[in-house]
């Protein structure tokens, strides 16, 4: 006798589909906006601490921010759950902006 594979009822499949779509949406928003926030914070911190002249620090910080944004996007889709995907870039960005604010006098050097 052949065994039948039972599929869940249509209401369960629809609810699971919406849940998955919501998680993908949150991860996409975390990749785009959370990654941008993290890249901005990295750029601001780089403009404070890199050992170059002021214009070179700003340009180098901005150029180095692009790989950070890409890494944040990869992390958003590779994280274990959607809470980590959204929370980790946000927390890292807040920490970097706080450190950049504390080092603002350092950024005024020529």
Q: Along the 110 residues of the chain, how does pLDDT read in single tens digits? A: 566 766 666 555 566 788 989 999 999 999 999 999 999 999 999 998 989 998 999 999 999 999 999 999 999 999 999 999 999 999 999 999 999 999 888 666 66
Q: Would residue 46 count as lying in a domain?
A: yes
Q: Would residue 8 count as lying in a domain?
A: no
Q: Read off the tokens for 24.
A: 């993908």
How many independent structural domains does the chain possess? 1
Residues 6+ apart with CB under 8 A from 43: 61, 62, 64, 65
Domain range for 96 is: 30-107
Q: Would residue 5 count as lying in a domain?
A: no
Residues 6+ apart with CB under 8 A from 76: 27, 28, 30, 31, 34, 35, 85, 86, 89
pTM comes to: 0.80
Q: Would residue 19 count as lying in a domain?
A: no
What does the chain come to in residues? 110
């Amino acid at each position: 006798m052949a065994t039948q594979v039972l599929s869940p009822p249509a209401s369960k499949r629809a609810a699971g589909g919406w849940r998955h779509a919501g998680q993908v949406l949150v991860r996409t928003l975390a990749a785009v906006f959370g990654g941008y926030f993290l890249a901005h914070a990295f750029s601001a911190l780089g403009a404070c601490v890199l050992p170059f002249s002021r214009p070179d620090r700003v340009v180098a910080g901005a150029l180095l921010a692009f790989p950070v944004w890409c890494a944040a996007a990869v992390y958003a889709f590779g994280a274990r759950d959607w809470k980590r995907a959204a929370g980790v870039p946000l927390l890292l960005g807040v920490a970097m902006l706080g450190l950049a604010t504390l080092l603002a006098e350092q950024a005024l050097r020529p």
